[in-house]
Amino acid sequence: TKEENQLVHNFNASITFDQKFYHQDIQGSIAHVTMLAKQAIITDAERDTIISALKEICSDIESGKLQITEEYEDIHSFVESVLIERTGDTGKKLHTGRSRNDQVALDMKLYTRDEVLATDELVKELMNTLLDLMKEHIDTYMPGFTHLQKAQPVTLAHHIGAYFEMFKRDRPPARLPKCEKRLRSRTAGPLGAGALAGTTYPLDREYTAILLGFTGPTLNSMDSVSDRDYLIEYLSALSTIMMHLSRFCEEIILWNSNEYRFIELDDAYSTGSSIMPQKKN
């Protein structure tokens, strides 16, 4: 019955970093409350009231009208508290048949799925830029190096093409798409798993999963709320992408170093004073 100790609150609080899930949390709640009305667990009028308020909350957060503050433990309690403030007892029905466990699992999966797609678009944009450079420098010659020693003449297009191939492996049908595909698969929709063993409410998990872009719900409730494999998979893909980027950055550093000079390849070719690529005259 005593007030919570501030140190305990700080230890349990996650809102400083999970506040970025606000869009996914509201998205999941809208799907959940839509399903509750379909199953006649709440009325259509209650559903409409809650959905309208949730969309308003999302809009207010994005516009800066509503600030996410650290007095709340996490983004889930923040959204729910604001919802109840705006809708009264109707807002309390949102959490019917749902646990923080399956709610958190869902938010994390939705957020990661969005990040995978965003990262994939950035890699695609980078590849298009590299492709443009390759087309522009088909006749730009430079020395190819092995073990930091001048080895064979190559074109800048060919050199950049090596990185194009690296990033291509990061896109379909390789790393990122496999991660995103798994996040949409039948073993992806965790809502309805409850704390660990489901709920007595007659939920329609298939319906909720489809509303959220999954092909179906998870098959085991305990695995549903504890699975974080996809995060490791995504981080692995990001690590590989960053390794490729790091290699490319190091190339640029070497090209601009005074330690690197290249010899005249042929009298017909222009000669420069550094490793920087030279176009054929």
What is d(CA 233, CA 220) in angstroms, rounded to the nearest whole number? 20
Is 9 labeled as catalytic in the residue annotation?
A: no
What is d(CA 236, CA 114) in angstroms, rounded to the nearest whole number? 17
User: Which ranges in 75-155 belong to alpha helices (H)?
Assistant: 75-87, 89-92, 100-136
Return the closest-CA partner of residue 97 out of 37, 57, 144: 37
Is 77 labeled as catalytic in the residue annotation?
A: no
Cβ contact 268:253 at 8 Å: no
| Catalytic one of 9, 63, 99, 147 | 147
Q: Which residues are catalytic?
A: 147, 273
